[in-house]
Structure 1
Amino acid sequence: MNPTDSFAGISGELVDGRYSENEEAAVANQNQRMLRVRIGEPFFARQGAMVAYQGNVDFAFEGGGASRFIKKALTGEGLPLMRCSGQGDVFLADLAKDVHLLKLENSALSISGKNVLAFSSSLEWNIERVKGGSMLTGGLFNTLLRGTGWVALTTDGPPVVLNAAEAPTFADTDAIVAWSANLQTSLVSSMKASALIGRGSGEAVQVAFSGPGFVIVQPSEGIQFPVA
């Protein structure tokens, strides 16, 4: 059946097939800013990220357990999740940010909770302190995904992927999206350059990376508020 048959009497680029559902794979980018997941096994997605679905799909709150709840309260690293199950297709997006799909094969990825869109239930996840940081520095807790499966992350604009093995690599804490969990991390403060590095006020702090692996950095440090 021609996909446009059900739009009899209506024509134009929106209904000529170019925006039809992407059927290439069970989990795939529908477009640059939207993910489509055809449910086989249940998966986790950011609460509020569902923009449409077809079929019989159930959405349930995923609390993550008492230990993760305590870590979230203490660290501020929030990852509000819902469990998606049933039969059908789910379309996910987050404020029209760019969506990127990664597959993990017995590997681990450290990712900022605000950049997580969805991931397969086969992956283990937890909130962990970034090595080299401390509770007093703040903002240095990430979500660790480990195992075999897929993860969809978002970036506020087209990112850059840096190879940390090529040279010492540093990134602003608010611009970092994710990195290979095997990388060595530490904190670097630039008191004298605080007015030049980053967009925050006060002491400038970056995360330093070393070892074989990559760092994903987005061209945004989040919403900035003027200092009173």
Structure 2
Amino acid sequence: MAKYSVGDFVSETAQKDRGEGLFELENDYTLEVNLNGMVWSKLGSMVAYRGGIKFEREGMMEHGLGTFLKKAVTGEGAHLMKAVGNGKLYLSDEGKRISILNLQNQSIYVNGNDILAFEQGLGYEIKLMRRMTSMMAGGLFNIKLEGTGMAAITTYYKPLTLMVTPDSPVYTDPNATVAWSGSLYPELKTDITFKTLMGRSSGETFQMEFKGTGFVVVQPYEEVYYQMASSTH
């Protein structure tokens, strides 16, 4: 057989059943959902499916009045859709790398732009960081997932997880911060010295400060998903 034949290509890229459960990684960038019921997924993330699956956009009051009001005030948040039915669903998000998390009565905060999919049984709540709205237009949205079930998150390239301990806090760039454990409550810091040194506004003048015990996930890429308040004037 000739090298690089169509048969080789099909064999190498063909969908494979691994028997891993509801969520499986077909590759680093494509999530397979073995659907029998309902899952939440990021709006627009469906690339293919087989079987009897229907899609419904998230209703305004789907996750309660509090979530609706936070979205209305900021104009941001995770835009979700329900995938309902029986079949195989394939999800991706702009070629970003996908990681699967199996929560066991645990909680995790995820950047609202980095949620790909999660099980119906997980609790879902929008969180706004304190002090953020006074510094940035719209604030910084995070999604808190809590309970037992599977979730899939996305990152640009391979993520790095840093452990946070009481004697060793971690500081991150908000644009590169993807997720952190539910035990942590980050604060926003302003690095006036750095801003003065550079002579202009820069993303690094805002930092997220993590204290306590837990972990924080960052990506080697600064994802711009908000606009600094100073740029609107």
Conservation of the 8 A alpha-carbon contact between 1:133 and 1:140: no
Aligned match of 1:21:
15
Where do 5+ consecutive residues of structure 2 fail to align? none
Q: How many angstroms does 1:74 deviate by?
A: 1.6
Whole-Å Cα distance in 2 between the matches of residues 133 and 150 of structure 1? Answer: 31
What RMSD, in angstroms, separates the aligned Cα atoms of the two structures? 2.4
Specify the code of the residue in structure 2 equivalent to 1:14: F
Where do 5+ consecutive residues of structure 1 fail to align? 1-9
Conservation of the 8 A alpha-carbon contact between 1:77 and 1:142: no
Aligned match of 1:4:
none
Q: How many angstroms does 1:134 deviate by?
A: 4.5
Aligned match of 2:157:
157
Specify the code of the residue in structure 2 equivalent to 1:160: L
Instruction: Using structure 2 for the length normalisation, give the TM-score.
Output: 0.83
Say if 1:60 and 1:193 are closer, same or farther in 2 by CA, change over 3 A: same
Whole-Å Cα distance in 2 between the matches of residues 153 and 203 of structure 1? Answer: 24
Could you tell me the percent identity over the aligned residues?
36
Aligned match of 1:46:
42
Whole-Å Cα distance in 1 between the matches of residues 99 and 56 of structure 2? Answer: 24
Q: How does 1:36-185 map to 2 (within 5 A)?
A: 36-63=32-59, 64=62, 65-130=64-129, 132-138=130-136, 139-165=139-165, 167-185=168-186
**Structure with more helix by fraction:** 2
Between 185-194 and 98-107, the greater mean CA deviation after superposition: 185-194
Say if 1:196 and 1:112 are closer, same or farther in 2 by CA, change over 3 A: farther
Whole-Å Cα distance in 1 between the matches of residues 201 and 116 of structure 2? Answer: 26
Instruction: Using structure 1 for the length normalisation, give the TM-score.
Output: 0.85
Conservation of the 8 A alpha-carbon contact between 1:124 and 1:145: yes
Specify the code of the residue in structure 2 equivalent to 1:133: R
Q: How many angstroms does 1:123 deviate by?
A: 0.4
> How many residue pairs were aligned?
214
Say if 1:85 and 1:195 are closer, same or farther in 2 by CA, change over 3 A: farther
Between 109-118 and 177-186, the greater mean CA deviation after superposition: 177-186
